[in-house]
A and B are shown apart, each in its own frame.
Chain A
Amino acid sequence: MTGSMPYVAVAVLFLCGLYMVLFEHNLFKIALGITVMEASANLFLVVLGYRSGGGIPVYTLASREAMVLPTPQALTLTAIVIGLATTALLLSLVVWAYRHYGTLDIQQIRRLRG
């Protein structure tokens, strides 16, 4: 891994996801944008734990080797599960919104104002 390339990738993914959430009109694309942002957060956490030349952290009482940090991997798993729950709920809400409003365009779904 060369220097800070992974972090640049995280930033690019995050900005793509943010663009989709902010500027897309189709409800499914907004949900997809949230998924992309969550992916960038997970990539960020995994890359944080990497150490160059590190080994796999499956030793017991390891003596000498440098190891990749296992804690960020656990944090990423938790974040993936949370993202799954949010995405499932969001997509169910999108299905119900289509049933009620007949459209997937977020600019047409504006009954609550003020």
Chain B
Amino acid sequence: MKPMSVVVRSVFCVFGWFVLVFGAYVIVHGHLTPGGGFQGGAVFATFFAALMASLGEGAFGESVSSRFLSTVESLGLLLFWLLGLLGMGRTFFHNFLAGSGSILFGGSVPVGPNEGALATGGTVALMNLSVGMEVVAGLTLITVYMALARLVVPDGGERGHDR
């Protein structure tokens, strides 16, 4: 993919960052407004797709390696699993942080219409963050592999099919 025209590139370089901010907003506020891990992560990953489309494939491929993205993806998933496991005092996925007063999203929820109290939600908010991390890395990896059309087979094909 070649870089696109100067108009597209300039617009992207000025406005692309708003996409990142919006994506992060949707991930973090998932327990208050519609959104959450997957939705915000998909918006966040749109930044990388737009980057590759407007600035050409090399612009992204040099800066962040797919090994790093794969590690971030696995770490996000393992954090999600760990948060489920930590509730095992009662049951798996038990929300042990909601209403407990701890600093990690443990406030109590005010009664009435949603005021946007960010410090509530417990493990739901933490799981949103870990899933968001995973979705960003995962979707960016998918976009990188498909855009660069990397041939992920060793040269000469797999040699295991003949004896």
A/B contact in complex, CB under 8 angstroms: yes
CB-based nearest A residue for B38: A81
Shortest Cβ distance from residue B150 to the other chain A in the assembled complex, whole angstroms? 11
- Chain B residues with Cβ below 8 Å from A58 are 32-33, 113-114
- Chain B residues with Cβ below 8 Å from A91 are 146
CB-based nearest B residue for A81: B38
B interface residues, tally (CB under 8 Å): 17
- Bound-state CA distance A60–B98 (Å) is 14
Does A12 reach chain B (CB closer than 8 Å)?
no
A interface residues, tally (CB under 8 Å): 13
A61 to B111, Cβ gap below 8 A? yes
B112 to A88, Cβ gap below 8 A? no
Decide if the interface of chain A is mainly helix, strand, loop or mixed: helix
Does A23 reach chain B (CB closer than 8 Å)?
no
Does A92 reach chain B (CB closer than 8 Å)?
yes
Does A95 reach chain B (CB closer than 8 Å)?
yes
Contacting residues of chain B (37-87) with chain A, CB-CB under 8 angstroms: 38-39, 42
Shortest Cβ distance from residue B2 to the other chain A in the assembled complex, whole angstroms? 20
Does B149 reach chain A (CB closer than 8 Å)?
yes
Does A106 reach chain B (CB closer than 8 Å)?
no
B109 to A60, Cβ gap below 8 A? yes
Q: A81-B38, A88-B142 are in contact. Are A95 and B111 (CB under 8 A)?
A: no
- Bound-state CA distance A73–B38 (Å) is 14
Does B110 reach chain A (CB closer than 8 Å)?
yes
Does A77 reach chain B (CB closer than 8 Å)?
yes
Q: A77-B38, A77-B39, A81-B38 are in contact. Are A60 and B114 (CB under 8 A)?
A: yes
CB-based nearest B residue for A99: B151
Contacting residues of chain A (68-83) with chain B, CB-CB under 8 angstroms: 73, 77, 80-81
B38 to A59, Cβ gap below 8 A? no
Shortest Cβ distance from residue B20 to the other chain A in the assembled complex, whole angstroms? 20
- Bound-state CA distance A77–B41 (Å) is 13
CB-based nearest A residue for B35: A77
Q: A77-B38, A81-B38 are in contact. Are A60 and B112 (CB under 8 A)?
A: yes
CB-based nearest B residue for A55: B113
B111 to A60, Cβ gap below 8 A? yes
B interface with A by C-beta (< 8 Å): 32-34, 36, 38-39, 42, 109-114, 142, 145-146, 149
